[in-house]
Amino acid sequence: MTQDLLDRYQRTMTNMFGTPARALVKGEGVYVWDADGKRYTDFLAGIAVNALGHAHPALVEALTQQAKTLGHISNLFTSLPQVELAERITTLAGAEDGACFFANSGTEANEAAFKLARRHSHAQGGTRPKVIALQNAFHGRTMGALALTWKPQYREPFEPLPGGVVFVPAGDIDALLAEMDDTVAAVIMEPVQGEAGVRDFPLDYLAKVRQACDDHGALLIFDEIQSGIGRTGTWFGFQNPEITGSDEPVTPDAMTLAKGLGGGMPIGALVTFGKEVSELFTAGQHGTTFGGNPLATATAVAVLETLEQDDVLANVRTVGKYLADELRALSSVKDVRAYGLWQGVELNTDTVLAQGQQLPAAGLAPAVVAKALDYGYIINATDATTLRLAPPLIITTEQVDPLLQDLPNIIAEAVAEAN
């Protein structure tokens, strides 16, 4: 059955994603099943999307009930779920006088953020043509979001990209300050760089970037597409003391959300903080046909309600710490960069090789990802030596334990099969 679906995929789909690893047909909680009936524990959650796992009753109920009333109405009108979601997000973010724009994805949210930076420049008389982004950043694959994304292999096939973006080394405050002046419209950055392997910055970095933006009248825009919606154990990364280095949040002028917000439904958001920033866009300057539709927003409201009512963020902190501590105890693991249930696991290439063995040609981490599937685990590699774990936020220590027990064997077999 799986092979039949993969064959049909190859005949009908573009090659943008390569060959799918499996054909999945069902999910429940932290588990999914492929077309041949094999079960997998999902440690990736659709790339940090399925905050409540698969087929969560609250999401199924919200989606079902909303589909019975309103599905799509366009943004010529509004709906109760849309307004409720905006109210909840701005309250959770502490965004006094804040506002939301809903899109369909993180990339679209970042496109809106890029346009917000341009609007800020025009509001200042067109004197701010420059946007600062960070090396190793990932913000999406449309032309505007791609202009903010560092990775050359993503950018080069589509150049020339929208201009005015300057990249500085991630975490180097002196390099950023050297580029900061009154021509900067915005600094756009992730509080922790997700696609780079859950890589953090010096603890005072975000606060210093905030101060530099204040000093020069630039906007600070946080891409919280992966770090937001409880992933790190706080509602948003900018509220997490382990990220900011302070009990006080480092509040941006705007942030983008997606992934976990919809729990599986496609939705993105640009959230603005304060009246001045919230009023930069005026009617007709940006738009979307499907963004903020009742189906997506009703589901997102259910996600936020369930995370709050079930105290899921406490589970994120507890299970995240347990997972990180147990991983650090493995000789095959060199380092774990952990923020709740968002972890970059650096493999120790010095300890996994027996005498005469070589590392897999494509890299140790990708080989481990492939072998983990054989064992029934879905994990991800961000580079040759880094595994990324971003399971559903409801995962338990009991559901984490099998991977911890099997990972040494998975790594050993991945190496052995490459030699």
Question: For the chain, what is the largest distance between any 2 Cα atoms, rounded to a whole number of angstroms?
Answer: 67
308-311 own/partner pairs: CB under 8 Å, 24+ apart: 310/394
More confident of the two residues 352 and 208: 208
DSSP H helices, 348-396, are 364-375
User: Could you give the domains of the chain?
Assistant: 2-56+311-417 (3.90.1150.10), 59-309 (3.40.640.10)
Answer whether 122's CB lies under 8 Å from 131's CB. no
CA-CA distances (angstroms) from residue 335 to 61, 215, 243, 326, 344?
Answer: 41, 36, 17, 11, 8
Q: Quickly state the pLDDT bin for 357 (edges 50, 70, 90).
A: confident
pLDDT at 210 over 80: yes
Segment 242-248 mean pLDDT: 95
State residue 288's pLDDT score: 96
User: Beta strand pairing status for 219-223 and 254-257?
Assistant: parallel
How far is it, in rounded angstroms, from Cα 283 to Cα 275? Answer: 16
Average model confidence (pLDDT) across the chain = 96
CA-to-CA distance for 117 and 339, rounded, in angstroms?
29
Give me the pLDDT at residue 122, please: 96
Q: What is the DSSP string of 224-289?
A: -TTTTTTTTSSSSGGG-HHHHSSSS----SEEEE-GGGGBTB--EEEEE-SHHHHTSS-TTSS--S
pLDDT on residue 302: 98
- Cα angle vertex 222, ends 204, 328, to 5°? 60
pLDDT of residue 158: 97
Rounded distance between C-alpha atoms, residue 319 and residue 340, angstroms = 8
Phi, psi of 303 (to 5 degrees): -60, -50
Does the pLDDT of residue 27 top 90, yes or no? yes
**Gap between the Cα atoms of 191 and 252, Å rounded:** 10
Contact indicator for 373, 39 with CB cutoff of 8 Å: no
Cβ atoms 131, 161 nearer than 8 A: no
Paired tokens of 358: 């070589």
CA distance 352 to 410: 11
In the predicted model, is pLDDT for residue 253 greater than 80?
yes
Distance, CA of 320 to CA of 400 (rounded, Å): 10
pLDDT band (50, 70, 90) for residue 352 = confident
What are the tens digits of pLDDT across the range 129-165?
A: 999 999 999 999 999 999 999 999 999 999 999 999 9
pLDDT at position 355 over 80: no
Residue 407 and residue 332 in contact, taking contact as beta carbons nearer than 8 Å = yes
Q: How far apart are the first and last CA of the chain?
A: 31
The pLDDT assigned to 96 comes to 86
pLDDT band of 347, cuts 50, 70, 90: very high
Beta-strand relationship, 377-378 and 268-272: unpaired
Q: What is the Cα gyration radius of the chain?
A: 22
Q: Which of 292, 299, 237, 240 is nearest to 50 (CA)?
A: 299
Query: What percent of the chain lies above the pLDDT cut of 70?
Result: 100
Averaged pLDDT for residues 334-362:
93
Percent of the chain past pLDDT 90, that is, above it, reads 94
Instruction: Please tell me the pTM assigned to this model.
Output: 0.97
Give the residue carrying structure tokens 């903010």: 148
Query: Measured in whole angstroms, how far is the alpha carbon of residue 383 from the centre of its chain?
Result: 16
Residue with tokens 């790190």: 232
